[in-house]
A = this chain, B = another copy of it.
Amino acid sequence: MRVVGTFGAARERRGGITALVPTMGYLHEGHLSLVRIARERADTVMASLFVNPLQFDDPSDLDRYPRDAARDAALLEEAGCDVLFAPQVEEMYPSEPLTRVTLPALAATMEGAHRPGHFDGVATVVAKLFAGLQPDLAVFGRKDAQQFVVVSRMAADLSMPVEVIGGPTLREADGLALSSRNVFLSDAERRAALGISRGLMAAADAVEAGERSAAALEGLVLEEMSRQALDVEYAELADAADTSRLTVLDRPGFLAVAARSGSTRLIDNVWLRPDGSADRGARLGAPSVLYGGGG
């Protein structure tokens, strides 16, 4: 694996079908599964590692975002990555960034409502990565459901010749969605956090059994979460095409939740279809040995 620090050096490493997996580092099995999806589809697999200040509305959240670049590089190489683009802030923002890429209609709800400016930051940095690295495809986790829709729409709207592919959410054996932030959870907070995935699985069960009402589905999640010491921010059924709120599951959608367990903010979701199918993500058979593992 070649590690490069500039857009120009990364572009020179493209060859054949080139896939990009953008990350903010502190990788877990979820990220590595995206690298493996890229490996299957592309001749050259590129990952990026950059903790993007632009998408943190809270500077203390940026400061405490976990980092371990050396381990990340080793894990990426093991997973089949060919090129790691790991720029310094000076390469990403050589002068004050005065340009913003913004999708106000997709960023008004859920994560966008709770993290002002977050999706402008995400859309802007992903536009930079797509424009500057010129990959043929890019793989994002569907765990960040709203982000996946924002990035897909941004690439299409800006006529970028990049196919955006979503990888399934990975879960510990007990259901907890993998997240770099899981490392911050105490044992008690981790137990409480299981209310999130339990609620989402109950909603997926209900869809498979015929339920289509957004209020009923959201209610099932909220009920399960209310049994735990969780500070719930939202539980919403959203349109998979544009993140607008659904009242009935009459088109592809996702049911997304955000909640804090202790001071750690967690998000999770299931993807639901009006034909009664649900994508709950993939459960690891054994506890994750990487960050956020345990169980």
Residues of A within 8 A of B (CB): 7-8, 11, 92, 94-95, 97-106, 123-124, 127-132, 134, 153-154, 156-161, 242
In the assembled complex, the Cα of A158 lies from the Cα of B130 at a distance in Å of 9
A98 touching B153 in the complex, CB below 8 Å, given contacts A11-B161, A161-B7, A161-B11? yes
Beyond contacts A7-B161, A100-B101: 8 other A-B pairs, Cβ-Cβ < 8 A, are A95-B156, A98-B105, A98-B106, A99-B158, A100-B103, A100-B104, A128-B158, A131-B160
Within the complex, the shortest CB–CB distance from A83 to chain B, in Å, comes to: 16
Q: Kindly identify which residue among B104, B106, B127, B161 contacts A158, using a CB–CB cutoff of 8 Å.
A: B127
Within the complex, the shortest CB–CB distance from A19 to chain B, in Å, comes to: 17
Q: Would B98 and A242 count as touching, CB distance under 8 A?
A: yes
What B residues does A131 contact at CB under 8 A?
A: 127, 130-131, 158-161
In the assembled complex, the Cα of A101 lies from the Cα of B97 at a distance in Å of 12
Q: Would A99 and B102 count as touching, CB distance under 8 A?
A: yes
What B residues does A123 contact at CB under 8 A?
A: 99
Q: Would B157 and A97 count as touching, CB distance under 8 A?
A: yes
Closest to A124 in B: B158
